[in-house]
Chains A and B, each alone.
Chain A
Amino acid sequence: MAEDLVLDTAIRDWVLIPLSVVMVLIGILRYFVSKLMRSSPTPDAKMVKEGQVVIRARNLKVGANFIPPRSFRTRRFYFTNEENGLLHVPKGEAPTNPQAAMFSDPNMAMDMMKKNLSMIIPQTLTFAWVNFFFSGFVAAKIPFPLTQRFRSMLQNGIDLSTVDVSYVSSRSWYFLNLFGLRGLFSLILGDENAIDDTQRMMQMGGFGFDASKSLGAEKDGLDIIQHEWALPRFEQRAESVLRKLVK
Chain B
Amino acid sequence: MGSVEKRSKDVMSDIPTFSAENLQNNLKVIQNSRTFLSIIAGVLAGIIGFNGLTGFVFYFVVMLITSVGLMAKAGFSADLYFDSLNRVLFDGFLGGLMSFVLFWTFAYDLVHIF
Over the window 167-194 of chain A, the binary record of Cβ atoms lying under 8 Å from chain B Cβ atoms (1 yes, 0 no) is: 0000001001101111110110001000
Residue contact B28 to A191, C-beta cutoff 8 Å: yes
Task: Enumerate A1-35 residues with CB–CB distance to B below 8 Å.
Answer: 4-9, 11-12, 16, 20
The stretch of B48-56, B61-69, B70-78, B79-87 in contact with A is: B48-56
> Which residues of B, 76-114, contact A by the 8 Å Cβ criterion?
95-96, 98-106, 108-110, 113-114
Contacts of A181 in B (CB 8 A): 99, 102
B38: Cβ under 8 A from any A Cβ: yes
Given A4-B113, A140-B109, A230 and B15 contact (CB-CB distance below 8 Å)? yes
Q: Contacts A143-B50, A144-B52, A145-B52 hold; do A179 and B102 have CB atoms under 8 A apart?
A: yes
Cβ contact within 8 Å between A143 and B102 = no
B15, B31, B38, B51: the one contacting A144 at CB < 8 Å is B51
Q: List residues of chain A with CB within 8 A of the CB of B38.
A: 183
Q: Which residues of B pack against A, CB within 8 Å?
A: 12, 14-15, 28, 31-32, 35-36, 38-39, 45-46, 50-53, 55-56, 95-96, 98-106, 108-110, 113-114
In the complex the two chains form, is B46's CB within 8 Å of A186's CB? Answer: no
In the complex with contacts A182-B99, A230-B15, A141-B35 CB distance below 8 A? no
Digit string of A126-156 for contact with B (CB within 8 Å is 1, else 0)? 0000000000000011111100000000000
Cα–Cα, bound, A180→B108 (Å): 15
Residue B55 contacts which of A143, A183, A191 (CB distance < 8 angstroms)? Answer: A143
Return the contact of B109 from the options A16, A65, A145 (Cβ within 8 A). Answer: A16
Closest 6 CB pairs of A and B: A180-B102, A183-B99, A183-B35, A179-B98, A12-B114, A143-B108
Q: Are A183 and B39 in contact (CB under 8 A)?
A: yes
Identify 4 new A-B residue pairs, CB closer than 8 A, beyond the known A144-B53, A182-B98, A183-B38: A180-B102, A182-B95, A184-B39, A186-B32
Classify chain A's interface size: 20 to 34
A-B contact pairs, 23 of them (CB 8 A): A12-B114, A16-B106, A16-B109, A20-B106, A143-B46, A143-B50, A143-B105, A144-B52, A144-B53, A145-B52, A177-B102, A179-B98, A180-B98, A180-B99, A180-B100, A182-B98, A183-B35, A183-B38, A184-B39, A184-B99, A187-B36, A230-B14, A241-B12
Distance from B15 Cβ to chain A, minimum over Cβ atoms (Å) = 5
The contact of A180 among B15, B32, B101, B113, by CB within 8 Å, is B101
Residue among B45, B108, B110, B114 facing the most chain A CB atoms (10 A cut-off)? B114
Q: Tell me whether A7 and B113 are in contact (CB under 8 A).
A: yes
CB distance from B69 to the nearest CB of A (A): 18
- Distance A102 CA – B38 CA, assembled complex (angstroms): 41
Give the chain A neighbours of B96 by CB distance below 8 A.
183
User: Which B residue's beta carbon lies closest to that of A230?
Assistant: B15
Contact of B108 among A5, A20, A141, A182 (CB under 8 A): A141
